[in-house]
A and B are shown apart, each in its own frame.
Chain A
Amino acid sequence: DGGITQSPKYLFRKEGQNVTLSCEQNLNHDAMYWYRQDPGQGLRLIYYSQIVNDFQKGDIAEGYSVSREKKESFPLTVTSAQKNPTAFYLCASTDEFSGNTIYFGEGSWLTVV
């Protein structure tokens, strides 16, 4: 089945560590996104990519990095510079031919220990 796969579902990070969240889609979508969700708040955009080898900062990009070397993959690295990384992270994708509907993965929980 087509969809978006995020891994791991749960991740624990020690202070000073970088961690990478995986996002893979087999929907052949051009655009991919990373969002952060904190309790009681809406989604906030971290980074997005509209095409391979290109990506743009969203509203809260500081302390995060991404790459888009393949159309189907858009990994997010949470660096040690992100001082408050504990959150739920959601990856999404869309393109013009899906009616602009955005599809989401199941999310990854990151906790700092």
Chain B
Amino acid sequence: KQEVTQIPAALSVPEGENLVLNCSFTDSAIYNLQWFRQDPGKGLTSLLLIQSSQREQTSGRLNASLDKSSGRSTLYIAASQPGDSATYLCAVRRGSNYQLIWGAGTKLIIKP
């Protein structure tokens, strides 16, 4: 059974720092992995999607990597800003039926 874990559950860093969020999964047979951002009381916004055949994806200050053999993905945020404060969730798609397995998220606070 696929399980997705995100550690730490919360992270607080000063503005300007580069940081890494972690996502681990137990079954390497994944279709793709996505990173999402959720602001309080809001829906989720997709940040990056990595197909199983890819190693990384980049969008602006964000870079996501995927290592299926070790069951890990990381989301790298460069030059963090207070506006980056949100909960970041990762989700693994396990097959062609569109179902996703979710981590519980990392709540990120960027201090001005």
Interface membership of B110, Cβ < 8 A:
no
A residues contacting the other copy or chain, number (CB 8 A): 27
| B62: min CB distance to chain A, Å | 15
Q: Which residues of A contact B49 (CB under 8 A)?
A: 99-101
Chain A residues with CB under 8 Å of B91's CB are: 43, 102
Asked whether B104 lies within 8 Å of A50 as measured between CB atoms, the reply is: no
- Asked whether, in the complex, the Cβ of A101 is within 8 Å of the Cβ of B97, the reply is no
Nearest residue, chain B, Cβ from A107: B43
Chain A 81-98 interface residues, beta-carbon cutoff 8 Å to B: 88, 90, 92, 94
Number of cross-chain contacts by CB at 8 Å: 55
**A107 to B42 alpha-carbon distance, docked (Å):** 6
Q: Are B98 and A50 closer than 8 Å at their CB atoms?
A: yes
Could you say which of A40, A42, A48, A88 has the most chain B C-beta atoms within 10 Å of its C-beta? A42
Contacting pair B104 A42 (CB below 8 A): yes
Bound Cα distance A42, B98 (Å): 17
Q: A50: which B residues are within 8 A, CB to CB?
A: 97-98
A-B CB contact pairs (8 Å), 30 listed:
A4-B43, A6-B43, A33-B98, A40-B9, A42-B4, A42-B102, A42-B103, A42-B104, A43-B100, A43-B102, A45-B100, A50-B97, A58-B99, A88-B41, A94-B98, A99-B49, A100-B32, A100-B49, A100-B93, A101-B34, A101-B49, A102-B34, A102-B46, A102-B98, A102-B100, A104-B43, A105-B43, A106-B42, A106-B43, A107-B41
A interface residues (Cβ-Cβ under 8 A, vs B): 4, 6, 31, 33, 40-45, 48, 50, 58, 88, 90, 92, 94, 99-107, 109
